[in-house]
Amino acid sequence: MKVIWKAKDFGQSFKNPVLTLGNFDGVHLGHQRIFKQVREKAKEIGGDSIAYTFEPHPVQMLKPEREPFLLLPIAERLRLIGELGIEVAICAPFTREFANLTAEEFVRDILHEQIGVREVFVGQNTTFGRNREGSVPLLKEFGQRFGFAVEAVEAVEVRGAVISSSRIRKLVRAGDVKGAAELLGRYPLLFGEVIHGHGRGSKKLGFPTANLKTASVLFPKPGIYAVWTIHDAQRYPAVANLGWNPTFHDRNFSIEVHILHFDKDIYGHLLRVEFVERLRDEVTFRGPEELITQIKKDVAQAKKILKVD
């Protein structure tokens, strides 16, 4: 997938562009349905399939003090969109100037004049333009005026409710990674670089943990999880611990993974962690011995969940 990091002035022309528009945080099953329709339409009319998205997320620009809430860092969001067969991603820098474009200016100047869009697929509650004034009915009006078709794609429902990024965020925050996976169509993820901790895992406990420095995204609720860890294109079963290590009175929040059947120095390497199921809360033990006993139980439980030996 080609990525264009510009709001306009793309320096190229598109062929029969079929486009979708949105933040696509999580690239969940609802987004996936939209991308599929875009891809199929583009194929049918011999056009380019385009995802138009924004970075930073509008809320990050308008309220920078808010805690990280995104499900995915931008690089992974784009990678997943590319995996779904979209040919071009336009990633518009979401600046104040951009936020001030009226719905009409955005459609006329960018979608119509710059891109020459032929067909737009959007979710039913899509908004765009200043103060989110643009809606699907308004987009349809503009479509008639500027000569492009508009398809409102039906939302995907799971367990009787529509899938949305905010519904998934709630589940992840609550530690229900299994529920979140159902709406994402894959496990919730974290990425990070392996950094140095206190060196306690291997020396004191006999369970080394790769400590991660992650991008500023939403973390699952603190606790212990059965996870898959991807290192160097290989998947390993693992147990993750998100929390404050209360048994050792640590002050800093840490994200650590103990990879099963693994023994390599991976400081400085990148890991991807897929959260499968939450095992328990983090608790304070009277000392390392008790903690070790519990970790052994965690490992056994994670093996069962991940169906490995």
For Mg ion, the binding residue among 209, 229, 241, 245 (CB under 5 A) is 209
Candidate ranges 17-25, 66-74, 175-183, 194-202; the one touching Mg ion (CB under 5 A):
194-202
Question: How far is it, in rounded angstroms, from Cα 33 to Cα 38?
Answer: 9
With respect to ligand ADP, which residue has the nearer C-beta, 22 or 208?
Answer: 208
With respect to Mg ion, which residue has the nearer C-beta, 196 or 307?
Answer: 196
Q: What's the start-to-end Cα distance of the chain, in Å?
A: 38
Q: Using the rule CB under 6 A, is 97 a contact of ligand ADP?
A: no
Q: List the catalytic residue out of 256, 277, 282, 289.
A: 256
CA distances to 116, 119, 139, 156, 218 from 108, rounded to whole Å, are 9, 14, 11, 30, 35
x/- letters, 205..234, toward ligand ADP (CB under 6 A)? ---xxxx-----------------------
Q: Using the rule CB under 6 A, is 197 a contact of ligand ADP?
A: yes
Residue from 99, 91, 114, 101 nearest 14 by CA = 114
Question: How far is it, in rounded angstroms, from Cα 252 to Cα 250?
Answer: 6
Q: Using the rule CB under 6 A, is 147 a contact of ligand ADP?
A: no
Catalytic annotation on 133? no
CA distances to 125, 163, 171 from 160, rounded to whole Å, are 17, 9, 16
Q: Using the rule CB under 5 A, is 241 a contact of Mg ion?
A: no
Q: Using the rule CB under 6 A, is 5 a contact of ligand ADP?
A: no
Q: Using the rule CB under 5 A, is 288 a contact of Mg ion?
A: no
Q: What's the min distance (Å) between Cβ of 193 and ligand ADP? A: 10
Number of chain residues interacting with ligand ADP (CB under 6 A): 21
For Mg ion, the binding residue among 197, 222, 243, 288 (CB under 5 A) is 197
Binding site for ligand ADP (CB under 6 A): 194, 196-203, 208-211, 258-259, 262-267
